[in-house]
Structure 1
Amino acid sequence: MAPPARGGYSSNVNLVLLFASALACLFVAGRLWWYSREVVLLERDVEILQAKLQGSDAASALAGGKLDCGDLGPGLSGLHFNVRQNAAPVVPPGLVGPMVEDEAIDTVTDDGEGREAPLLGQLDGVRDGYVYGWACQRAKVSTALKVVLYINDVQVGMVHADKPAPHSIVNRICTGPVSVEMHLQPARNVAFRFKMPRLPDGLYQLRAFAYHPDGRWRKELYMSPLSFYESDARPDLAEAIRRKDDIIRARNAQVASLYEELNTRGAWESVTSEPRVRTFAPKQGQDSVPRLLVFIGVNSDPGDKHHRNFLRATWMKNETALSEMGVAAKFIVGKSDWLPEKEVTELADEMAEHGDMVTVDIKGYEDAAKKILAFYRSVALTTDADYYFKVEKDVVVNIGNLVDYLTPTRDRGNLFMGCMKSGEVVTDPKRAWYEPQHYRFGDPIGSDKKLSYPRHAHTQVFGLSRNVAKYLGQNADVMHGYAHDDVTVGAWLLGLDVEFKDEGRLCCGECRGDDKSRACISFFQTGCSGVCSPETKVMKIFETCAKSRG
């Protein structure tokens, strides 16, 4: 979050936060270094094995450090090996067929025709007499994706990609975020396998082109052209190569995923082609479900079960009473491929036991602002409510007071509610709360030469009315984030016709048991995710100041 305006932090807290931030940066940098190092080592192993298959002296030279990684001499750098265990005893004929330049239709780049999303796909490699690859195809297209293959620019055959790609990373690349057009399905991942013709031993170049369903254009897949060496030698080494290549291919797919994520062109095209903010359309069979007054999403990490239990024992305890007041309260838990299997299993068991959790896909390590967007995309576009509140863990909410506060304005569609603040934009990387993108907030002026953030709400509790929440959900792919999630939300709304409602009762810090405390809507303490020392304070505050009717 940004530097607080209400209350301050001690120097000790700042040092602890700065140390924690440094550790987090070191962790991410270390992980990136490890994966990069892993790929380099794997590629080096593959090159050594490939050289052994050739019986080349380059293998011993490489292993002994006499050659740079990737330098295996003529015809050996970066090759895939097609090793066949049962090669034909006779030499097969040469390649005969149409040439790659004989195709009459246009070959396009990533831009397609400029009117539709680019076709994403990749050659995985050549092994055991087969070509493998995958692509992403829009679910609304009924025909299988056509892929034509060429060896040394001579057409050798055609195959249809009509089977699910086997790797989960490929599925993530294709499905991506949920489409803002609710009636459209995201792209599905399709894979192909093509049986290679018999070839004499030697070096070859493979190319693969995927065709538009209407045959209007074709696009060359990533990793094409791909060099491979045809051989029937030593299947034990071939198996080693296959295993190494499988891991490298997975890493290549991750890189492709990052490339697509960073390339926001497609995301902008998807949102700019949409109509203006739409009213909620209930799903089939849900016409009789009344609109909620408020949906409360409690931000929670997968391993925070003990914190969730604090709230389950207090203000989230009586689900029936909440429902009668038009309130739904769920924990919003981020899921990703980085979760250990044990943690995934425990999370699934907890979800089945309590039924009060919503998972959002955050694709590995993500910042808090992107999780907020995932919340609005997952909930505001599928659950009809007048308000959507984001609440941090260990925040104590007085549901009765919240209902009384929201009911008189439930027909408003453009409210941003919270404890509003501003604060200094920290431009010094050595200080806590540093903002790497400080230049976006203008130039320092005045005697103190400081910048100020635009007005925004404390991150512990804030709420948006339905149209504002749906706007964020529909345009999540192009929302830009900053270092602190509270600042980021304020920046998203700064340019919109939104009313900022500063409500002090949403950020009460102490429960004194008097009438003023009992009028509070929510309790948290600056510097903590909710109230500090939740093990002892959550229940006490709830019983004394936040126990709602019902």
Structure 2
Amino acid sequence: MGFVGIQTGFESSGRRRSLRKTWMPSDRQGLQRLEEATGLAFRFVIGRTNDRLKMSELRKEVAEYDDFMLLDIEEQYSKLPYKTTLLQSYQSLYYRLAFFKAAYTLLDSEFYVKADDDIYLRPDRLSLLLAKDCPHPQTYLGCMKKGPIFTDPKLKWYEPLSYLLGQEYFLHAYGPLYALSAEVVVSLVAIRNNSFRMFSNEDVTIGAWMLAMNVNHEDNQSLCEPECTPSSIAVWDIPKCSGWALQSRKEVIRTSSKRELLNQPNCDLTINILGSITQLKKSKLAMVAWKPFSALDSSIYRMGQTRKASSI
């Protein structure tokens, strides 16, 4: 089984509403059925803020939907100015480490999945992917890419530590969706803050840590489809300048036949350039022979501020 943490923020209530209207059930019973069918638990992951109004709104949403994991970490990085890119990355990574540590503490899973709140996901297909036999206990699963390192401070993906890296980034997964096996998360949990090198982009930093841990990189381009296809697991808008995906033979074949695929009645939705969901055809979930964890009470996730839980 696995845990899917959907990273969200205090300004993203609209995104959460869109997900609850599409692939993620909006009621506890529906979420329970999805978990039992797929063997995956799904929760929105969010920290705390000193803004009383925002915290009050979050309390109401938690009470209404009961689908959150709350982290005992203040979300400050979203307020930082653009010029503090590296500091923003540090804050984001501390938040990500807090998520993996809390998820590992609360739930014994085979995989822990980090997902953004602006993607369309097929839980049934993700479940089938994670249920496959994994020859390597330490696995880093995602849509892998490599690409040029940006050295111009004016660019969004500027890398201040480019002198350490050369001309091209090493292999790493796109940030909006990736999965780590339990053994990898064990190593992450053991990391002390500031003990590993951090770069300006979260996905690059995670990739660097994976290299240091000598894990197995598993590339699956179905996790980063720009348009829905009969095989897409996740659909989202890929930034044009964020790096180049691996141009494997499989990728080339799929790209060349994209028009043919889109003519088939298999697309579940259309996503506009902002990543908002505009159309969806309902589909039944595939039943997967995974052990359901209905014994897990949702209140556990409301205490998801690691072991130092404090109510909001």
Normalising by structure 1, report the TM-score: 0.41
Match of 2:170 in 1: 454
Map 1:256-275 → 2, pairs under 5 A: none
1 CA distance for matches of 2:34 and 2:62?
A: 19
2 CA distance for matches of 1:506 and 1:427?
A: 28
Deviation string, structure 1 residues 254-293 (Cα, Å, up to 9, x no partner): xxxxxxxxxxxxxxxxxxxxxxxxxxxxxxxxxxxxxxx1
2 CA distance for matches of 1:486 and 1:547?
A: 32
2 CA distance for matches of 1:377 and 1:430?
A: 34
1 CA distance for matches of 2:196 and 2:66?
A: 31
For the residue of structure 2 that corresponds to 1:409, the secondary structure is coil
Map 1:185-334 → 2, pairs under 5 A: 293-317=1-25, 318-324=30-36, 325-334=38-47
The letter of the residue matching 1:319 is L
In the TM superposition, residue 377 of structure 1 has moved relative to its aligned partner by 1.3
The answer to whether the aligner puts 1:484 opposite 2:201 as a matched pair is yes
Match of 1:519 in 2: 231
2 CA distance for matches of 1:506 and 1:455?
A: 16
2 CA distance for matches of 1:396 and 1:410?
A: 25
Counterpart selection for 1:502 from 182, 199, 219: 219
Map 1:69-468 → 2, pairs under 5 A: 293-317=1-25, 318-324=30-36, 325-336=38-49, 339-366=50-77, 367-409=91-133, 412-442=136-166, 451-468=167-184
In the TM superposition, residue 322 of structure 1 has moved relative to its aligned partner by 2.1
For the residue of structure 2 that corresponds to 1:385, the secondary structure is coil
Q: Is the 8 A contact 1:524 1:531 kept in 2?
A: no
For the residue of structure 1 that corresponds to 2:70, the secondary structure is strand
In the TM superposition, residue 439 of structure 1 has moved relative to its aligned partner by 2.4
In the TM superposition, residue 518 of structure 1 has moved relative to its aligned partner by 2.2
Match of 1:144 in 2: none
In the TM superposition, residue 320 of structure 1 has moved relative to its aligned partner by 2.2
For the residue of structure 2 that corresponds to 1:421, the secondary structure is strand
Shift in alpha-carbon separation, 1:548–1:533, aligned structure 2, 3 A? farther
Size of the alignment, in residue pairs?
238
In the TM superposition, residue 333 of structure 1 has moved relative to its aligned partner by 0.8
The letter of the residue matching 1:491 is A
Q: Name structure 2 gaps, 5 residues minimum.
A: 78-90, 241-270, 288-312
2 CA distance for matches of 1:476 and 1:319?
A: 34
2 CA distance for matches of 1:489 and 1:388?
A: 14
2 CA distance for matches of 1:356 and 1:364?
A: 19
In the TM superposition, residue 385 of structure 1 has moved relative to its aligned partner by 0.6
Map 1:18-97 → 2, pairs under 5 A: none
In the TM superposition, residue 458 of structure 1 has moved relative to its aligned partner by 0.6
2 CA distance for matches of 1:527 and 1:502?
A: 18
Identity rate, percent: 29
The letter of the residue matching 1:431 is L
When Rg is computed on C-alpha atoms for both structures, the one with the higher figure is 1
1 CA distance for matches of 2:184 and 2:276?
A: 35
For the residue of structure 2 that corresponds to 1:311, the secondary structure is helix
For the residue of structure 2 that corresponds to 1:527, the secondary structure is coil
Q: Name structure 1 gaps, 5 residues minimum.
A: 1-292, 443-450, 512-516
Shift in alpha-carbon separation, 1:365–1:394, aligned structure 2, 3 A? same
Q: Is the 8 A contact 1:381 1:470 kept in 2?
A: no
1 CA distance for matches of 2:178 and 2:208?
A: 14
Shift in alpha-carbon separation, 1:312–1:349, aligned structure 2, 3 A? same
Normalising by structure 2, report the TM-score: 0.70
Q: Is the 8 A contact 1:360 1:375 kept in 2?
A: yes
Match of 2:266 in 1: none
Match of 2:255 in 1: none
Deviation string, structure 1 residues 312-331 (Cα, Å, up to 9, x no partner): 12221131222212110001
Match of 1:202 in 2: none
In the TM superposition, residue 413 of structure 1 has moved relative to its aligned partner by 2.2
Deviation string, structure 1 residues 120-167 (Cα, Å, up to 9, x no partner): xxxxxxxxxxxxxxxxxxxxxxxxxxxxxxxxxxxxxxxxxxxxxxxx
Match of 1:123 in 2: none
Q: Is the 8 A contact 1:394 1:531 kept in 2?
A: no
2 CA distance for matches of 1:480 and 1:531?
A: 36
Q: Is the 8 A contact 1:381 1:473 kept in 2?
A: no
The letter of the residue matching 2:44 is F
For the residue of structure 1 that corresponds to 2:132, the secondary structure is helix
The answer to whether the aligner puts 1:549 opposite 2:265 as a matched pair is no
In the TM superposition, residue 374 of structure 1 has moved relative to its aligned partner by 1.4
Deviation string, structure 1 residues 440-460 (Cα, Å, up to 9, x no partner): 225xxxxxxxx1111110111
The structure with higher relative contact order (CA 8 Å, sep 6+) is: 2
Deviation string, structure 1 residues 51-79 (Cα, Å, up to 9, x no partner): xxxxxxxxxxxxxxxxxxxxxxxxxxxxx
For the residue of structure 2 that corresponds to 1:439, the secondary structure is helix
Q: Is the 8 A contact 1:427 1:435 kept in 2?
A: yes
For the residue of structure 2 that corresponds to 1:425, the secondary structure is coil
Moved more, 456-465 or 362-371: 362-371
Q: Is the 8 A contact 1:386 1:410 kept in 2?
A: no
Shift in alpha-carbon separation, 1:535–1:523, aligned structure 2, 3 A? closer
Shift in alpha-carbon separation, 1:503–1:364, aligned structure 2, 3 A? closer
For the residue of structure 1 that corresponds to 2:7, the secondary structure is strand
Shift in alpha-carbon separation, 1:321–1:412, aligned structure 2, 3 A? farther
